[in-house]
Amino acid sequence: ILVQVAEMIGNTIRKTDIFGRYGGEEFLLILPEIDRQSGIVVAEKIRKIIQDATFAENIKITVSLGAVEYKPGTSIDDLVNAADSMLYAAKKNGRNRVESSLD
């Protein structure tokens, strides 16, 4: 299922986007030169595509996503930690959703 999810995401994003596995069942997606709202739109599109898919043996899954926007001066570690916090907020707030920080 992870391979299929990765393929679905890869088929959804732009060629300029950077996408990869970032842990056991986590992926990291970098969307250069788009703002937070546009990132949320992409995340929602991915969430819906995965939610609507049926995998082997009629398995249905959902995803929780965290979205943050890079601000000048933010370290990569702080940016990834913020995205991770939003991911866990999405899980805490009901799963199958996108959470995004306003800062």
Report, in angstroms and rounded to the nearest whole number, the Rg of the chain calculated over CA atoms.
13
Q: Which residues have a catalytic role annotated?
A: 25
101, 103, 100: which is closest to 47 by C-alpha? 100
Going by C-beta distance under 8 Å and a sequence separation of 6 or more, which residues neighbour residue 94? none
Consecutive H or E run containing 80: helix 76-92
Question: How many other β-carbons are positioned within 10 Å of the β-carbon of residue 59?
Answer: 10
